[in-house]
Amino acid sequence: MSLTHEVLNQSPPFADVDLFALDTALAEAVAANGGAGAGRELSEFGRHWGSAVMAERGRLANENTPKLRTFDSKGNRRDQVEFHPAYHELMAHSAHAGLHNSTWSPDGRPAGKASEVVRAAKFYMAAGVETGHLCPITMTRASVAALAVQPDLLNGTMPVIGTRAYDPTFAPWPTKRGMTLGMGMTEKQGGTDVRANMTRAERDGSAYRITGHKWFMSAPMCDAFLVLAQAEQGLSCFFMPRFHPDGSVNAIEFQRLKDKLGNRSNASSEVEFLGAYGELVGEEGKGIRTIIQMVQLTRQDCAIASVGLMRSGLAHALHHVRHRSVFQKHLADQPLMRAVLSDMALHVEASIALVMRLCRAFDGAPVDANEAAYMRLLTPAIKYWTCKSAPGFLYEAMECLGGNGYVEESILARHYREAPVNAIWEGSGNVMCLDVLRALSREAEAATGILQRLAEETHGLPGAGEAMAFIGKAFRRPDAEGVARLAVEKLALLAATAALNQISPRHSELFATTRLAGNHGGMYGAVDLPPDDIGRLLDRALPQ
């Protein structure tokens, strides 16, 4: 009670909930893609990450941003980054749940079974609470795929990467209980075009001395980085630890931290290497081929996180409109709001079905050529579509909360600022489209097989045949680059329709009707869904 008025008609906090139990679409997508036995584990995770305590840690880690401590009080270089304790808590909880390593067996081989699907479900829920800290988590997980080409390094690091301990002490990685890894590719003159990297690597005995800069290198308190640099045979990948094997601090100097739109809990540095110690990973001259193994996995995580952000936005919006009345009626009962939210719920149903289908492909790829082909062709298409759709989706979710959505206390404002980065890093939108074209030309037979399978899985659904015909024609055009966005978006929509069809044929039909046969136009709610379907979609999206 304030002095002048009673606080009325505001929604209670959306906290202390089980993020898994409330998310029917997630549970069904996990089960349909091999993770049926993980319900209890995921519910435990969902309750923990859905707690008010974790939400508060997310807020604190973003409001109290990391600080670069370049020097100590006597002028000695420190090159360390200080984080708020809430950030360390988030890291510890993610590490404890194995988000940074659970898809690997202790020797660094893929863990198999449904480890990708189950981890993705956790990553998605964590992303809906706090996304910034997941940057070092995803890079650590992904680095193992690149280290795999260098068995001595992999064998050395896996016992430390493989623990579920988070150890933020500034110490040489072999002495630590757990470690994190980052990556340094982007330079001032080019991020997409890493061939233009100017950083040099000179042989020094069995190791290398690396000199140059990186314009973006996130999570600088990682214990080691996979870095690209020019060696005698060309662009090569190096393992660069924060400490030299002799115990001294490696010659890595941070210039400053980026002042970013979002992603505030995560530090992103500009850095110089002054003859820094590095060990070759893979062969000289094969740097891109080596590091792309890592990037494939971080791209997968960009897609998962984007869908996690959208799901969180939808849940917060639905929760709010069920408590907020306008003109004596709950917003949740106003036909136009129902049209908007059910359309958004349909988008999330399709997105989660699609990313979980992709994660099944990651699970199966090591032993199944078809799954490997699905993964190769669709990872860039799915990263493109999910990451591109997230900012617009979150803007709409924010608007459902009216003014409350726009202010910093609201998680929607944070999610909205966070969302665009997933489309930019790990290969921006156009680069993803070009990568789909590359897969189609270099692995034509495998890619054509995947297109045929999608055609079969969506056969008879509204607009599916036309979409497939369009895709086939567009990709064959000599000027395919110019229409690649159109074709890649249709490919992602078609794959989403197929993935959803395995879980909920009715939702797949609605999705195809509005997205493939109809012209969705990008505004949520500008569709004409049957009232029964609207009710079902809203009930599923957030059971009351």
Using CB under 6 A as the criterion, which residues of the chain lie in contact with ligand FAD when the complex forms? 182-186, 190-193, 216-218, 260, 263, 268, 421, 424-425, 428-431, 434
Beta strand 200-204 pairing with 207-218: antiparallel
Beta strand 181-184 pairing with 224-231: parallel
Task: Please name which of 400, 385, 370, 356 lies closest in space to residue 491, comparing C-alpha atoms.
Answer: 385
- Token pair for 182: 């980052």
**Shortest distance, CB of residue 5 to ligand FAD, whole angstroms?**
42
**Shortest distance, CB of residue 186 to ligand FAD, whole angstroms?**
3
Beta strand 325-326 pairing with 268-281: unpaired
In the bound complex, which residue of the shown chain has the CB atom lying closest to ligand FAD?
A: 191
The neighbour count for residue 368, using CB atoms within 10 Å, is 14
Between 130 and 349, CB nearer to ligand FAD? 130
Between 191 and 282, CB nearer to ligand FAD? 191
Between 218 and 296, CB nearer to ligand FAD? 218
The neighbour count for residue 126, using CB atoms within 10 Å, is 27
**Shortest distance, CB of residue 220 to ligand FAD, whole angstroms?**
9
- Token pair for 81: 């980054």
Task: Please name which of 137, 180, 152, 124 lies closest in space to residue 304, comparing C-alpha atoms.
Answer: 124
- Token pair for 528: 């004409």
Between 268 and 458, CB nearer to ligand FAD? 268
Helix boundaries (H) for 192-286: none
Contact (Cβ atoms closer than 8 angstroms) between residue 510 and residue 528: no
Percent composition of the chain: helix, strand, coil (DSSP 3-state, to 5):
55, 15, 30
**Shortest distance, CB of residue 193 to ligand FAD, whole angstroms?**
6
**Shortest distance, CB of residue 408 to ligand FAD, whole angstroms?**
19
Contact (Cβ atoms closer than 8 angstroms) between residue 272 and residue 94: no
Between 45 and 254, CB nearer to ligand FAD? 254
Task: Please name which of 276, 277, 267 lies closest in space to residue 69, comparing C-alpha atoms.
Answer: 267
**Shortest distance, CB of residue 448 to ligand FAD, whole angstroms?**
24
Between 421 and 498, CB nearer to ligand FAD? 421
Task: Please name which of 431, 481, 439, 434 lies closest in space to residue 191, comparing C-alpha atoms.
Answer: 431
The CA-CA-CA angle for residues 158, 164, 170, to 5°, reads 75
**Shortest distance, CB of residue 470 to ligand FAD, whole angstroms?**
21
Between 421 and 454, CB nearer to ligand FAD? 421
**Shortest distance, CB of residue 331 to ligand FAD, whole angstroms?**
35
Between 30 and 267, CB nearer to ligand FAD? 267
